[in-house]
């Protein structure tokens, strides 16, 4: 006997999962209730995962047309005494798959497509059993410019508080004192006093370092760090790549550049910010090289975590830039103390005026 919805993909999954504890199938009445609850949550000003208006309207449209099928079994998350639930949905626009929300609060535009086969189901479940790998076991790193605190009307503490409330992140966080995750493998059995004591200890900031706060994501165990390069804010993500190519349609619809290999719990954090990676910043600069150059270079300075890479990038820009643009770049380089770049620029600079300024400011006139 098939599922009450009668859709082919749903029937196939239904038959395959009768004894699978990851599928708690809903009745038709419960399904209608769950969709109503999901739509109500999208209309609430107190959303756990903040969404911009364009993302919010896309989520409402998708939830309105889709049918909740089942809850997942309860997932034991490493940092919490509360198990978490996910859900499975059917979207009639994509009748060949069902859609997986590994956390109930995950926005509908980030649901994961799952093929209605045993292999597809097993792959989805295996990828979303909570893990906590060592940071050096997370092979990929990406950095995103979030914005200036003054333009966002937010302090870095407010940004950290927003992340702490995001259900896609765990409560395990730590300060710049630590180059590693200081939390033990599992804290589910800890008392509130033990948690509070550890939080104070692990929140330490090391003087002289960039102000930085790091979080574990709730399921993939990725690490996302908030860095303050006053007044600019940058997110750095260490993660194991996954196949998130279904995000490509979202990128096209919203003109964003969310990476196609990021875990969905990290995407659920980035989607609440107008995040821009290196490629997006460079494209923005190319729209108006004169108007955007100075601010763009200042932003890129925060996104390059390797000074030598940033200096090589500037060398390439300077080679084809106007005299006015080169002067702007040199000002940023002076402020950032990029000595290798400045010395090489002094050797190559064709303008006597700029060459004299480089000589005066960089070498104090002793060349």
| Same-domain check for residues 203 and 325 | no
CA 32 vs CA 41, 42, 342: distances in Å: 14, 16, 65
* Residue 41 domain flag: yes
| Same-domain check for residues 272 and 158 | yes
Last residue of a domain, one of 127, 152, 186: 127
How far apart CA 345 and CA 363 sit, in angstroms, is 12
Count of structural domains within the chain: 3
Last residue of a domain, one of 93, 110, 127: 127
Mean pLDDT along residues 204-218: 90
* Residue 192 domain flag: yes
| Same-domain check for residues 165 and 94 | no
| Same-domain check for residues 197 and 229 | yes
| Same-domain check for residues 309 and 242 | no
pLDDT of the residue at 360: 79
| Same-domain check for residues 272 and 183 | yes
| Same-domain check for residues 100 and 225 | no
Mean pLDDT along residues 317-322: 87
Q: Which two tokens stand for residue 94?
A: 């994509």
Residue ranges making up the domain that contains 68: 8-127
Q: What is the mean pLDDT of the chain?
A: 87
* Residue 345 domain flag: yes
- In the chain, what percentage of residues exceed pLDDT 90? 38
| Same-domain check for residues 14 and 90 | yes
Closest CA to 70 of 127, 31, 103: 31
* Residue 213 domain flag: yes
* Residue 3 domain flag: no
pLDDT tens digits for range 234-275: 999 999 998 888 888 888 887 778 889 999 999 999 988 888
* Residue 367 domain flag: no
| Same-domain check for residues 263 and 140 | yes
How far apart CA 86 and CA 69 sit, in angstroms, is 11
* Per-residue pLDDT at 82 exceeds 70: no
Mean pLDDT along residues 192-216: 90
* Residue 2 domain flag: no
pLDDT of the residue at 60: 94
| Same-domain check for residues 251 and 162 | yes
**Least confident window among 1-15, 121-135, 194-208, 327-341:** 121-135
| Same-domain check for residues 299 and 203 | no
Last residue of a domain, one of 233, 248, 276: 276
- Rg over CA atoms, the chain: 24
* Residue 200 domain flag: yes
* Per-residue pLDDT at 365 exceeds 50: no
**Least confident window among 46-50, 105-109, 219-223, 282-286:** 46-50
How far apart CA 277 and CA 279 sit, in angstroms, is 6
| Same-domain check for residues 248 and 307 | no
pLDDT of the residue at 364: 58
pLDDT tens digits for range 56-81: 999 999 999 999 999 987 766 666 65
* Per-residue pLDDT at 367 exceeds 60: no
How far apart CA 163 and CA 265 sit, in angstroms, is 12
pLDDT of the residue at 21: 83
Question: What would the DSSP string read from start to end of 130-159?
Answer: -----GGG--EEEEEEEEEHHHHT--HHHH
């Amino acid at each position: 006997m098939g599922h009450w919805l009668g859709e082919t993909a749903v029937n196939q999954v239904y038959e395959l999962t009768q004894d699978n504890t990851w599928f708690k199938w809903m009745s038709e009445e419960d399904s209608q209730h769950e969709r109503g609850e999901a739509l109500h949550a999208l209309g609430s000003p107190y959303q756990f995962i903040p969404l911009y208006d364009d993302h919010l309207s896309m989520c409402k449209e998708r939830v309105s047309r889709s049918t909740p099928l089942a809850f997942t079994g309860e997932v034991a998350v490493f940092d919490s005494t509360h198990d978490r639930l996910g859900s499975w949905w059917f979207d009639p626009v994509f009748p060949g798959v069902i859609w997986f929300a590994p956390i109930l609060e995950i926005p509908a535009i980030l649901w994961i497509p799952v093929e209605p086969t045993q292999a597809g189901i097993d792959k989805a479940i295996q990828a979303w059993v909570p893990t906590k790998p060592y940071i050096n076991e997370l092979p990929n790193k990406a950095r995103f410019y979030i914005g200036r605190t003054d333009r966002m009307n937010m302090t870095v503490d407010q940004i950290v508080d927003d992340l702490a409330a995001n259900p896609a992140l765990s409560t395990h966080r730590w300060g710049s004192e630590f180059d590693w995750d200081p939390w033990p493998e599992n804290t589910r059995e800890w008392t509130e006093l033990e948690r509070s004591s550890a939080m104070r200890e692990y929140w330490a900031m090391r003087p002289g370092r960039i102000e930085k706060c790091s979080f574990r994501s709730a399921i993939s165990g990725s690490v996302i760090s908030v860095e303050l390069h006053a007044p600019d804010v940058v997110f750095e993500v260490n993660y194991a790549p996954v196949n998130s190519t279904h995000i490509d349609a979202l990128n096209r619809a919203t003109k964003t550049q969310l990476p196609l290999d990021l875990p969905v719990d990290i995407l659920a954090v980035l989607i609440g910010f107008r995040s821009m990676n290196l490629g997006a910043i460079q494209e923005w600069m190319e729209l108006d090289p004169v108007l955007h150059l100075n601010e763009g270079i200042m932003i890129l300075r925060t996104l390059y975590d390797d000074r030598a890479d940033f200096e090589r990038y500037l060398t390439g820009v300077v080679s084809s830039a106007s005299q006015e643009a080169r002067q702007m770049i040199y000002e940023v380089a002076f402020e950032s103390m990029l000595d290798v770049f400045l010395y090489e620029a002094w050797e190559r600079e064709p303008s006597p005026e700029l060459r004299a300024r480089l000589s005066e400011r960089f070498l104090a006139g002793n060349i």
